[in-house]
């Protein structure tokens, strides 16, 4: 029931936040860890240009809807209950690849 979905939600968001937190500042989340959303994971990159490239490259791989709110910017990954762990892993793998290619 509810515990399953709470745990599942925590696992999905942790997958993305761990990449953000482990990226040495390439990805950045300005929200305190204890106040972060499990449903809408938000983060920024080092520049608006990199964010635009991230959104473009994600779209090429079938990852859509990650552009942040028009007034705030950044990136937003919506991880509502219907989002599968497989979909979260696709985003996670893309984020790792984007980070690696940007540092090359």
Question: What pLDDT digit, counting tens, does each position of 60-94 carry?
Answer: 999 999 999 877 789 999 999 999 999 999 999 99
pLDDT digits (tens, 9 = 90+) for 30-58: 999 999 999 999 999 999 999 999 999 99
pLDDT for the residue 22: 97
pLDDT for the residue 73: 83
44 phi and psi angles, rounded to 5 deg? -120, 165
Binned at pLDDT 50, 70 and 90, residue 103 comes out as confident
CA separation (Å) from 75 to 4, 50, 53?
27, 11, 11
Strands 40-43 and 75-78, sheet pairing: antiparallel
Residue with tokens 């399953």: 4
Name the pTM for this structure: 0.93
């Amino acid at each position: 029931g509810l515990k399953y979905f709470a745990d599942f939600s925590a696992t999905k968001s942790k997958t993305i936040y761990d990449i953000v937190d482990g990226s040495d500042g390439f990805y950045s989340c300005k929200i305190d860890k204890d106040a972060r959303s499990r449903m809408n994971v938000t983060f920024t990159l080092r520049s608006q240009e990199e964010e635009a490239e991230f959104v473009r490259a994600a779209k090429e791989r079938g990852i859509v809807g990650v552009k942040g709110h028009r007034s705030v910017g950044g990136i937003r990954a919506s991880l509502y209950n219907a989002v599968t762990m497989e979909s979260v892993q696709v985003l996670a793998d893309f984020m790792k690849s984007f980070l690696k290619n940007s540092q090359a």
